[in-house]
Structure 1
């Protein structure tokens, strides 16, 4: 009898050749697209290596410069770099998220808004909390006003005053992480349950070191979770055990904040803000846990949930505090670096800031902050921040989505079938020279004195906070706190570079300085 294996083996071999070579190279709709690398049509190895060794953003940008608005990164992956038939179609057209998000951003094994793959549960969750993150709410909130006064006048400015008097340089990356963490934690959990990382150096160093220690290993969980599981069965751990311990430490830390917020509610008949005296006689303010209350109230519904209430709240708030401190802290660091490189713009900004009332100077009589609306309307401050968000986006990396079952054309491509990984990245969009001339230069003036048509076009390509229904829910909070912190500093101080070695961005999804620091000297200006 003719051996079956003599027939089966060549059939299997032919099938594999067809599936992994003939179809992706010659027959797939993606075969009509330009390849970022010669191997992109039949292997994902090139783009995986770029991600693993943190070379992804610049590699994708170079591919778009060479090939145009759409390029093929792998057998089943494309990148787009345009607005029409690009980010407008993908991010405002109902494309669902790729599984990369839950692999990267779930906490406690429970989905949060950012990690939710499907649009419907995401939109439900977003409606629960979007009100307290809206611009109108933040600008009129007495709680945010009270938080701002305490953080600026009782914490940040005294630290800078002392450093300036002693001519002691400050690592502003760490200080900015501290400031933005103090802001977001107080808003989420209440000021009395928050952090004081600005002044409590040991606490902030412990938290930041544990949080940042996990970054080198995030690639495996995001891109190759199956590889982790396979080797784990063989007793081989690609990611070290201490990484899980670090994640658990952070989750436990957040859960304690949730419990403290719950205790505040049960102990207070009136959840409105009130002032009390602390044990060391310094004035301190108690504020309600705004975001915690909003989420608790919204999630308490008769509809069943597969997850416990406390974990559903904690996973959401853990994501808010992680993203809220890191992205704003990175942005402020690059803003201060650029201002230190451009003393003439510093001077222009200071002249603008000193028109504000009440004054943000530490020696002011009121120790009050100006209305957020007036700070938000300052044109030079706004231009400096927008230009920093453009050229130094804290999250410049790709935002992966999946094409829907209905074939869809992108950037002039043939209709792409469902299940293709597609993404855009701020790094490339923000470097379109037709929209942003001399794109690699920090030029705040491009946002000033420009006609409305040009401003609108730049706004269409500006992608620091994403776009569509998945646009960053905390963008208004971030802009308000960053403008206030910058205004408070440059009203009274000039900054000078002491050591900016390694200020270049890490080429990754979230991109801080390679050196993880920036040393500046602060000098008091009368």
Structure 2
């Protein structure tokens, strides 16, 4: 059992914070002085033009999203956070140029650090998400983009079979079993169940059902791995923002910002995912498997890497770890973000019973509806995807409750660029720049009353210009450009089917939503990671 997880607040950490940040800043500034070109950009804090201490302290306190929101509201779409860092909150002169223009995740030539290196696994093995340069990312993305494309996801027979098995033999029986409890029948923590279901679907598509997880049927194992996964969250600041200093401090002075047990938790997660990879590889070696046991994504990547390895002469052992690092990132990102979104779908629908009834009416019009009597048949995924109210509910939740609302850093190209709505600011090369979905989605010129959960906004008859702004330009739940989320279509597919299964059979009402507020972080689950709801069976004719 891992220890409880307080925010690091011991005396030594507090003493080292100003000293270490000052040292890192001095070293960085001596190599790369603050560019005078940024003096016209309004600073979010008086110290921002002179030191990164201010924004670093905000991040250390987990207040970045709220702080950036207030600063942009006060100062405009482009603000300065540090001598060599800015934040943008606009499309033209912002995300279109930075993300659509292919700015790198890391500085060219190895300068500075790679913020995304924190997402490497197995002791520094990169994956598609963590790669700093676009060329390497593009090579890997070409190997997987087809299998994650919308056309393939909506039509793949193995995925449909996998989702059918999970919904009809795991998810719906689990819900039905809650009514047999002696105490509080029909009451459950829906966040936990939704996390289990998305994990089972994602690992099913990647590794096949036989090699993937069955967390719905094994809540103890689910709780264990969720604890391993989430308990590390309070210790991300130092290795992510100051990786070199963190490493040097541990190596030369023996002081760890990150406790040893976090390494042990990572090691167990690595072993768990490696086991699924090895099981999928064994299925492929046997040469025969059922449709639901098809390791769809694993097969695609492993075959592509085998072909590449023959040209380069890569080591099979290295390739095995590289595949595991890739799928650890895809599995954790795929289940976590979808589980968070679905939790807020249920929370919002539980507060809006009239809308819940309208959604159920739409869902029961599917042929067949997702009810136990329909097993094992599922409606055509294209028909589910086309349901207008279901789509509006999912999209509005992705907008208001973005699972990843935090900044997505990039670095400006060596030649520099011009940013701002009128391209009024020249930004030199090597400056860290980021945008945030949590801020873009709150633009009241695009989304009327943006703080309200109002799915009908996606169904209203609006101008083509407003529609484009809402649906593509400012909607950023999956990012944009060449490095937007590769698994977005799988995420939407599984969320729509899970909502269809739940609300075709039950109504939901809130029992206890204490701590439902999202944490202020890069990823933003409920602060309590629990939502207790009451189920009631739906009576149909």
Fold agreement, TM-score > 0.5: yes
Question: Is residue 2:522 matched to residue 1:501?
Answer: no
1:388 pairs, out of 369, 394, 397, with: 397
1:351-392 superposed Cα distances (whole Å, 9 cap, x missing partner): 110100112112x24432111100000000000100000000
Distance 1:58 1:247, change over 3 A: same
2:478 maps to 1:465: yes
- Tell me how large the CA RMSD over aligned residues is: 1.7
**1:135 aligned to 150, 170, 174, which one?**
150
The correspondence for 2:189, drawn from 160, 171, 175, is 171
Corresponding position: 1:104 with 2:119: yes
Distance 1:305 1:103 in 2: 25
Does the 8 Å contact 1:181/1:197 carry over to 2? Answer: yes
Which residue of structure 1 aligns with residue 526 of structure 2?
513
Q: Is it true that 1:453 corresponds to 2:465 in the alignment?
A: yes
Could you report, residue by residue, the CA deviation over 1:159-186 in whole angstroms, capped at 9, with x for unpaired residues? 1112245424211111111000000001
Match of 2:347 in 1: 337
For residues 289-343 of structure 1, what are the alpha-carbon distances to aligned partners after superposition, in whole Å with 9 as ceiling and x for unaligned?
1111111111112124588110111110111101011000000001100000111
- Post-superposition offset of 1:231: 2.1
Q: 1:259 aligns with which of 278, 284, 298?
A: 278
Q: Which SS does the other structure have where 1:396 is aligned? A: coil
* C-alpha displacement of 1:158: 0.9
Match of 1:351 among 361, 383, 386: 361
CA distance in 2, matches of 1:462, 1:414: 24
Using the alignment, how far apart are the partners of 2:142 and 2:54 within structure 1? 39
CA apart distance, 1:504? 0.4
Query: Any stretches of 5+ residues in structure 2 without a counterpart?
Result: 1-25, 107-113
1:291 partnered with 2:302 = no
**1:108 deviation in Å?**
4.0
Q: Distance in 1 between matches of 2:210 and 2:73?
A: 51
Q: Specify the alignment match of 2:136 in structure 1.
A: 121
Equivalent positions of 1:317-466 (< 5 A) are: 317-362=327-372, 364-411=373-420, 412-451=423-462, 452-459=464-471, 460-466=473-479
Q: Which residue of 1 aligns with 2:69?
A: 61
Contact 1:352 1:378 (8 Å CA) reproduced:
yes
Cα deviation 1:85-109 (Å, max 9, x = unaligned): 1001000112100311012344442
Aligned match of 1:237: 256
2:262 maps to 1:247: no
Counterpart-to-counterpart distance in 1, 2:285 and 2:117: 33
CA distance in 2, matches of 1:168, 1:354: 22
Query: Contact 1:187–1:291 (CA<8 Å) still a contact in 2?
Result: yes
**Aligned with 2:211 (options 193, 200, 204):** 193
**With structure 2 as the length reference, what TM-score do the two structures score?**
0.89
Q: Give the whole-Å Cα distance in 2 for the aligned partners of 1:84 and 1:477.
A: 29
Paired residues, number: 493
Q: Between Structure 1 and Structure 2, whose CA radius of gyration is higher?
A: 1
Would you identify which runs of 4 or more consecutive aligned residues in structure 1 move more than 6 Å? none
Q: 1:154 aligned to 159, 164, 169, which one?
A: 169
* Whole-angstrom distance in 2 between the partners of 1:321 and 1:69: 34
